[in-house]
């Protein structure tokens, strides 16, 4: 069984970003959003690690973050944090989708 390390790194990045947003700007929404989405991403990575076909929580979490942060990025054009999270989320959605459509053959 393969561990979804990239998913766990994304979860840690998201949670850490929320904590930094709270520390730097005093934003409660950054803290709550970062921790909630970080937790959901970690839970989704656990599910993918146990069953590579169980991508739906991860897919929903990454897709929601891509849309939410993409809107913020398009309105502000700031790379940090909106552009970074948008790009990382889109990468994760693409990675999950391709892995679901074309799974690796384990021999």
Q: What is the largest CA-CA distance in the chain?
A: 51
pLDDT classification of 1: cutoffs 50, 70, 90:
low
pTM comes to 0.90
Question: Cis omega (within 30 of 0) on the bond before 81?
Answer: yes
Side-chain-side CA neighbours of 62 within 13 Å: the count stands at 26
Cα(23)–Cα(81) distance, rounded to whole angstroms? 14
Cα(61)–Cα(49) distance, rounded to whole angstroms? 16
Q: What is the pLDDT of residue 99?
A: 85
Q: What is the pLDDT of residues 30-86, one digit of tens each?
A: 999 999 999 999 999 999 999 988 999 999 999 999 999 999 999 999 998 889 999
Are the C-beta atoms of residues 85 and 14 closer than 8 Å to each other? yes
Are the C-beta atoms of residues 47 and 75 closer than 8 Å to each other? no
Q: What is the pLDDT of residue 37?
A: 97
Angle at which helix 5-25 crosses helix 28-50, to 10 degrees, equals 170
């Amino acid at each position: 069984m393969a561990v979804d390390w990239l998913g766990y790194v994304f979860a840690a990045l998201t949670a850490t970003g929320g904590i930094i947003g709270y520390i730097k700007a005093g934003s409660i929404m950054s803290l709550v959003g970062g921790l909630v989405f970080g937790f959901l991403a970690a839970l989704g990575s656990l599910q993918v690690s146990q069953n590579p076909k169980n991508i739906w929580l991860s897919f929903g979490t990454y897709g929601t973050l891509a849309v939410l942060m993409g809107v913020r990025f398009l309105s502000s054009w700031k790379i940090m944090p909106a552009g970074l999270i948008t790009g990382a989320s889109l990468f994760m959605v693409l990675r999950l989708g391709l892995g679901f459509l074309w799974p690796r053959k384990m021999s």
